[in-house]
Chain A
Amino acid sequence: MAEEKVGVYICHCGHNIAGTVDVEAVAEWAKDLPNVEVSTDYKFMCSSLGQELVEEDIREKGLTRVVVAACSPHMHEPTFRKACERAGLNPYLFEMANIREHASWVHADDPDAATEKTKAIVAGAVSRVVHHEPLDTLVVPVNEKTMVVGGGIAGINTALEIANAGYPVVLVEREPSIGGHMAQFDKTFPTLDCSACILTPKMFDVGNHPNIELMTYSEVENVEGYVGNFTVTIRQKARKINIEDCTGCGDCWERCPKKVVDTDYEAGLGYRTAVYRPFPQAVPKYPVIDVETCIYYDTGKCRACEKFCPTGAINFEQEDEVVMTKVGNIVLATGYDLFDCRRIPQYGFGRLANVFSSLEFERMTNASGPTGGKIVLRDGVTEPESVAIIHCVGSRDKNYNEYCSGICCMAALKFAHLIHEKTNAEVYNCYIDMRSAFKDYEEFYNRLMEEGTHFIRGRVAEVTDAARMPGEEGKLIVQVEDTLIGKQRRVPVDMVILMAAMEPRWDSVEVSHQFGIGCSAAGFFTEKHPKLDPIATMSDGVFIAGVAQGPKDIPLTVGQGAAAAARVLTLITTGEVEMEPVRATIDEARCSGCRICNNLCPYGAIDFLEEEAVSRVNPALCKGCGTCVAACPSQIITGAHFSYEQIMAEIEGVLWDMGNGQLVPDAQPVTESA
């Protein structure tokens, strides 16, 4: 190792690092570290000039190792690895020292301590890098098929973009039909397009696309593998309908005697039968039998649907089917749940009849909804004379969700417009801040002000039916501080609409584990980079689109879906993908065959070879966690790029200033595993 020539480059990152850390001093100091050939500081190492600096030194000064001390390796490690490669140095002979996120940015109040810590980090990297070994990236083929999870507008758009490019897609949807939340809406803001009119043609395209295999009423059970080569297990729940025979004629649900409240599509405002198709434009057209409510599964009698089905498609004995398929990429577009307004008892949802959730109102105002588009009170006939719309229900509220749900202000304006259009009611919008960013939204807000909507700036304290003043009898009273005039107001209204927040799916954390990606504290899927890569995730080959990543409106969702498709198509058309060669290998000549490692591997990547009585790692299955490396009692498993020698050297390096130049008499010897 003595002959290694290390180049050390300390980045200023403008003022980001140099504003706190004395970079010149660190660069000067690093010259005396063992094996260091060149040490310098530079304004922006990631600039093309900075990269050229590294390349020139590799070529001209014969560097065999490179350390760049700058930002997190998750930011620019690939950049400098490529620079090394261009200059003919194996990219894995490079090490990134993170002195920005882990030093200058967090110790800005103590420049001296930050500089000392920077030295320790750099010393660790220099000490480690001499132990690096050249590695070859693994190149693996990419399966052309893509799995899209979630059949809302995000998933629909992703699937169509990929399928239109000529590649196969399997679209998995949990509900009996695709369409998602958008299929429930009446109009879309700010253009007031009919939601169903713009969505259903796309749903039809998905249902009829030769490249799309549509799996509704299905859930992903298991995901194995890695980018380009996933094996997914999908459970097709039993519809109790043979879809080969079903024509979607509707005789079954017309004859079904069991009526249940439809809490999904109609948001609890309407009814459906036990055998049902969620809505008339559903794709696919086949109904499902809801086993929970069907009379036959309860009492063993009825079978009305079976008697009347003209094609004999009803199959009460149908079982769930589990299918396995291989896909190269996965797009998660699993959407959102709506905040349960019951969680805020002072707003009275579920207790006061005429308090509606936004989704309930959406169904009510929809011409295909339970009231045929009439805006009426819970009694089904009375038109309201006054309506209050309460913003930020469950959002911008530390008791529930701190984030802004983004779309509710605009949806509230849309509701106000629809109420003006269909009734003569006075409309009160109680808002905290009006958020009308993006194209044509502010104009829509101005239009609503001209239409005569009352805007009250203040968070509503309470909705109550306890009348205190004349004119409040029989009304709902909205108690709110109008912060623009500095007065408490009691607004008596007939109807209250709660603009419920978009929340992550109830099982989003579980799903994120299943697919090996991260979740924010709120529960939305974590993107690879918040600014520059809001589509990819920490797991290569797994992309995210739509509200599953964070609250957003329909245009943004559609855009992100198309972007995810573009990213997938890049991988498919390239045909192969490079993978980090961080893998474990067993020195079989020294393996005693104790098999301790065999059971530790979470991926079953270690096989025991009976004849040779040794264990062997299957590199295709190994993900490089290093659990076996740490456990091997003979220490003959090597973790590439995180080897025993490399980590031990880094420990020595970060403790460079602890002065263990000599043993002191009272030092306690520690036996290290050899």
Chain B
Amino acid sequence: MSDLQEFQPVIVGFLCNWCSYRAADLAGTSRMGYPATLRDIRIMCTGRLDPAFVLKALRGGADGVLIMGCHPGQCHYEEGNYKALRRVALLKRTLAQLGVEPERVQLGWASAAEGVVFAEKVAEMTEQIRALGPLRWGGNLADKANGNGTLAGVAAMDEEVVS
């Protein structure tokens, strides 16, 4: 299918400030190429990851969410990544009940020295999401085609759902 081959997933990333964000910086400094599918957001620690962030990203049009932190036992804040581990496990179970494939939300680890690990993880996840196809949560694709996306639009949608 030609349009599936063309399909460029959009993955929202949540990277911890100390390990994985620096791994991404290192991947950049070392000019390691990886697919331009990841749009990352820096948080201080994966322990800061509110499950609502993941839901927000998926509903906002992301086809997947990648959360990366320090390796277990190496958290800058001692144990934040363990909390992320538990939260993400629960969240994935909830998402599975909503029909979201487990590969769409992934948790990984990369130390500040592991630019390669980071780049490979992004490439691997991109392939997996590409195989799954678009998420079509919130009907994003229909509007993506006309390219009229606005920031205000996403915000407006929020208000509608909340109200």
Q: Is the C-beta of A667 less than 8 angstroms from some C-beta in chain B?
A: yes
Give Cα A600 to B83, complex, Å: 9
Contacting pair A660 B39 (CB below 8 A): no
Q: Is the C-beta of B125 less than 8 angstroms from some C-beta in chain A?
A: no
Shortest C-beta distance, B56 to chain A (Å), equals 5
Looking across the interface, which residue of chain B has its beta carbon closest to that of A627?
B47
Looking across the interface, which residue of chain A has its beta carbon closest to that of B74?
A513
Give Cα A674 to B31, complex, Å: 41
Q: Is the C-beta of B3 less than 8 angstroms from some C-beta in chain A?
A: no
* B: contact size bracket: 35 or more
Binary B-proximity of A624-664 (CB < 8 A = 1, otherwise 0): 11110111000000010010100110111111111111111
Shortest C-beta distance, A98 to chain B (Å), equals 8
Give Cα A519 to B18, complex, Å: 12
- B147 / chain A contacts, CB cutoff of 8 Å: 657, 659
- Which residues of B line the A interface, CB within 8 A? 8, 10, 12, 18-19, 21-22, 24-25, 27-29, 31-34, 36, 39-45, 47-53, 55-62, 73-74, 76-80, 83, 87, 98, 111-114, 119, 137-140, 142-158, 160-162
- A657 / chain B contacts, CB cutoff of 8 Å: 144, 147, 149
Binary B-proximity of A592-631 (CB < 8 A = 1, otherwise 0): 0000000010100000000000000000000111110111
Contacting pair B143 A659 (CB below 8 A): yes
Of the candidates B8, B28, B77, the one whose C-beta lies within 8 Å of that of A625 is B77
Contacting pair B143 A658 (CB below 8 A): yes
- B47 / chain A contacts, CB cutoff of 8 Å: 625-627, 630
Q: Is the C-beta of A100 less than 8 angstroms from some C-beta in chain B?
A: yes
Q: Is the C-beta of A218 less than 8 angstroms from some C-beta in chain B?
A: no
The interface-forming segment of A115-123, A398-406, A540-548 is A115-123
A:444-477 near B, CB below 8 Å: none
Contacting pair B79 A660 (CB below 8 A): no
Contacting pair B10 A655 (CB below 8 A): yes
Shortest C-beta distance, B79 to chain A (Å), equals 5
The list of the 10 closest CB pairs from A to B, nearest first, reads A658-B61, A659-B143, A664-B139, A101-B28, A626-B48, A661-B153, A627-B47, A625-B77, A113-B36, A654-B39
Looking across the interface, which residue of chain A has its beta carbon closest to that of B16?
A625
Give Cα A662 to B149, complex, Å: 10
- Count contacts between A and B, CB distance < 8 Å: 226
The interface-forming segment of A102-110, A133-141, A374-382 is A102-110
- B55 / chain A contacts, CB cutoff of 8 Å: 670, 672
CB contact under 8 A between A655 and B154, given known A117-B36, A660-B143: yes
Contacting pair B48 A642 (CB below 8 A): yes
- A575 / chain B contacts, CB cutoff of 8 Å: none
Shortest C-beta distance, A174 to chain B (Å), equals 23
Contacting pair A647 B18 (CB below 8 A): no
Contacting pair A651 B41 (CB below 8 A): yes
Of the candidates B33, B61, B113, B160, the one whose C-beta lies within 8 Å of that of A655 is B61
Cβ contacts A to B, 30 pairs, < 8 Å: A33-B151, A34-B152, A100-B28, A101-B29, A105-B29, A105-B31, A106-B27, A106-B119, A107-B36, A117-B39, A518-B22, A526-B113, A626-B44, A626-B45, A627-B48, A651-B53, A651-B56, A653-B151, A655-B10, A655-B12, A655-B61, A655-B149, A658-B143, A658-B144, A659-B146, A660-B157, A663-B160, A665-B139, A672-B161, A672-B162
Contacting pair A667 B137 (CB below 8 A): yes
Of the candidates A521, A659, A669, the one whose C-beta lies within 8 Å of that of B61 is A659
- A110 / chain B contacts, CB cutoff of 8 Å: 36
Contacting pair B56 A672 (CB below 8 A): yes
- A208 / chain B contacts, CB cutoff of 8 Å: none
Contacting pair A582 B44 (CB below 8 A): yes
CB contact under 8 A between A123 and B151, given known A73-B42, A661-B143: yes
Looking across the interface, which residue of chain B has its beta carbon closest to that of A117?
B36
Contacting pair A667 B74 (CB below 8 A): no
